């Protein structure tokens, strides 16, 4: 069971990295939209993962994207911020079921409404950090906020879409 | 002291988070410096190998359009051969001519990776120090200006695109000869601004903007774009000019790197000029 989770996550890491770099980084609509799907990796990490591993894996996920794009540290910082926010976010979004071990964060176990709330919160945190760090100034505040909102909406829709398509073993239970 | 250590251990998650954030912040900042960016790590090793393979594959999708551009460019070059010094040879080879004195040479390169959606955009090309590429060489495509080389490794080089916060290039409006400087405000990758055009200059929407030839990087008369919008705010001495880039940065796959043969001589005489 445990090794299975590890293998699934390694596979997911590589797949999302390649999808991000070679498909979604090429998409650019109106100069504002830059969809990011790799945060899905952090969203789907199991609940029982240790804080250290969570942050470390997020860092490498972001750094992986950075290596291809050439913006060393930018994606990494945003993803670590998002991972840190995940622990707080889980407390904010309540669910009917406890986050006990054996339950994984996803549509299967916790339902659509919970997962959409969860995705919106964390992807927004990620984009907020990313675009402000990229602009590196508060001078164009309004414009940067527009970028954050537009890209967030697009990313959230894509992430939900991808998660529904690749929903793991529906007939498990 | 013990309390402090206990505090840190108790909040190890938070402190590890801080550590990683500081690390990535440091990486971003050390990456932001203009000339000496650590960007070259992206054009090295494993990633460039993968990028090269993917670029090979995706090149096929653009073949048709690319051919059209090449045909047009061939026609253009053919018409230029007699009276100009624009050589299309794929090397920095010099030509001896008793009438003309060669100023620039061109080398073609393929784009391995590029971005257009960020605030600061870069390209990676498949030519490096081995091919004679040096820092601060200009990069153009067949349609117009693209950027300036900012880092060179053995086999690759990285280019600061004109879609960059720090990119500022001297430009000239062909219809009246006034010069200004172009900046990219972000947002749309097709639109940029031309600044420092005085309010008494006369020109129209649709006029062409080309390089001025004032720099040692770009030859004169390389196309930059076409004016789309002219504004003169009350009380201002300079126009706000918007223009559309002549290059579609989303589409380009091949570029030319420009080598200025007389750059050192020019720089030297400028330094002497500054001393007075």
| B118 closest CB neighbour out of A33, A71, A84 | A71
Q: What is the DSSP string of chain A?
A: -HHHHHHHHHHHHHHHHHHHHHTGGG--BTTTB----THHHHHTS-TT--HHHHHHHHHHHHHHHHHHHT-TTHHHHHHHHHHHHHHHHHHHS--SS---TT--SSHHHHHHHHHHHHHHHHHHHHHHHHHHHHHT-STTHHHHHHHHHHHHHHHHHHHHHHHHHT---GGG-
Q: What is the DSSP string of A49-83?
A: --HHHHHHHHHHHHHHHHHHHT-TTHHHHHHHHHH
pLDDT, residue B83, reads 40
B33's tokens: 């410096």
Answer yes or no: do B31 and A72 touch at CB < 8 A: yes
Confidence of residue B243 (pLDDT cuts 50, 70, 90): very high
Residue A119 distance to chain B (closest CA, Å): 20
Per-residue pLDDT of B141-174, as tens digits, reads 888 899 999 889 888 899 999 998 888 899 999 8
pLDDT greater than 60 at residue A173: no
Give B27's contacts in chain A (Cβ within 8 Å): 72-73, 76-77
pLDDT, residue B222, reads 87
Mean pLDDT of the region B243-265: 86
Answer yes or no: do B187 and A55 touch at CB < 8 A: no
pLDDT greater than 60 at residue B82: no
Answer yes or no: do B42 and A67 touch at CB < 8 A: yes
pLDDT, residue B78, reads 59
pLDDT, residue A81, reads 92
CA distances (Å), origin A70, targets A3, B40, B41, B135? 33, 8, 8, 18
From the CB of residue A28, how many other CB atoms can be counted at a distance below 10 Å? Answer: 19
| B117 closest CB neighbour out of A28, A76, A81 | A28
pLDDT, residue B162, reads 92
Residues of A with CB under 8 A from a CB of B: 22, 25, 27-28, 30-34, 51-52, 55-56, 59, 62, 67-74, 76-77, 80-81, 83-84, 87, 133-136, 140, 143
Percent of chain B with pLDDT over 90: 13
Mean pLDDT of the region B33-52: 55
Residue B13 distance to chain A (closest CA, Å): 6
pLDDT, residue A156, reads 92
pLDDT greater than 70 at residue B122: yes
Tell which of B10, B13, B23, B28 to mutate to test the A interface (max A CBs under 10 Å): B28
Those residues whose C-beta lies under 8 Å from the C-beta of residue B108, and which sit 6 or more positions away, are: B90, B254, B255, B256, B257
Quote the ipTM score: 0.72
Geometric angle at alpha carbon B169, from B166 and B171, rounded to 5° = 150
Percent of chain B with pLDDT over 70: 82
pLDDT, residue B91, reads 53
Give A74's contacts in chain B (Cβ within 8 Å): 24, 28
| A77 closest CB neighbour out of B21, B43, B250 | B21
**Most confident range, picked from A155-169, B81-95, B157-171:** B157-171
Answer yes or no: do B27 and A73 touch at CB < 8 A: yes
pLDDT, residue A98, reads 65
Mean pLDDT of the region B95-111: 72
pLDDT greater than 80 at residue B21: yes
Give B33's contacts in chain A (Cβ within 8 Å): none
Residue of B162, B210, B206 lying closest to B184 (CA atoms): B162
């Amino acid at each position: 069971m445990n090794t299975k989770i590890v293998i699934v996550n390694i596979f997911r890491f590589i797949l999302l990295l390649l999808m991000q770099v070679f498909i979604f980084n090429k998409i650019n609509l109106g100069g504002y939209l830059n969809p990011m799907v790799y945060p899905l990796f952090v969203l789907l990490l199991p609940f029982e993962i240790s804080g250290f591993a969570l942050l470390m894996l997020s860092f490498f996920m972001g750094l992986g994207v950075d290596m291809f794009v050439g913006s060393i540290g930018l994606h990494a910082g945003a993803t670590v911020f998002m991972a840190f926010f995940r622990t707080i976010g889980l407390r904010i979004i309540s669910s009917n079921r406890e986050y006990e071990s054996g339950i994984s964060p996803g549509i299967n176990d916790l339902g659509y409404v919970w997962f959409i709330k969860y995705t919106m919160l964390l992807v927004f945190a990620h984009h907020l950090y990313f675009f402000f760090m990229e602009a590196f100034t508060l001078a164009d505040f309004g414009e940067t906020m527009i970028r954050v909102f537009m890209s967030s909406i697009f990313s959230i829709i894509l992430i939900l879409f991808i998660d529904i398509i690749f929903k793991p073993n529906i007939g498990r239970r | 002291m013990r309390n402090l250590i206990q505090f840190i251990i108790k909040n190890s998650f938070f402190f590890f988070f801080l550590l990683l954030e500081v690390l990535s912040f440091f990486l971003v900042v050390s990456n932001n410096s203009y000339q000496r960016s650590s960007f070259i790590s992206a054009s090295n090793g494993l990633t460039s190998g993968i990028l090269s393979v993917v670029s090979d594959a995706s090149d096929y999708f653009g073949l048709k359009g690319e051919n059209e551009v090449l045909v047009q460019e061939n026609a253009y070059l053919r018409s230029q051969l007699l009276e100009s010094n624009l050589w299309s040879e794929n090397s920095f080879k010099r030509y001896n001519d008793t009438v003309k004195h060669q100023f620039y040479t061109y080398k073609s390169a393929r784009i391995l990776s590029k971005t257009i959606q960020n605030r600061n955009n870069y390209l990676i090309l498949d030519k490096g120090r081995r091919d004679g590429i040096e820092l601060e060489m200009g990069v153009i495509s067949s349609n117009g200006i693209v950027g300036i080389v900012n880092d060179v490794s053995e086999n690759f080089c990285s280019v600061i695109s004109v879609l960059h916060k720090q990119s500022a290039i001297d430009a000239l409006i062909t219809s009246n000869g006034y010069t200004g400087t172009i900046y990219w405000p972000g947002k749309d990758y097709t639109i940029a601004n031309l600044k420092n055009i005085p309010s008494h200059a006369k020109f129209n929407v649709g006029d062409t903007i080309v390089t001025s030839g004032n720099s040692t990087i770009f030859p004169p008369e390389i196309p930059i774009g076409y004016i789309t919008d002219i504004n003169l705010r009350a009380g201002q001495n300079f126009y706000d000019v918007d223009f559309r880039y002549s290059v579609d940065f989303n589409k380009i796959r091949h570029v030319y790197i420009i080598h200025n043969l007389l750059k050192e001589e020019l720089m030297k005489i400028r330094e002497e000029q500054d001393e007075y």
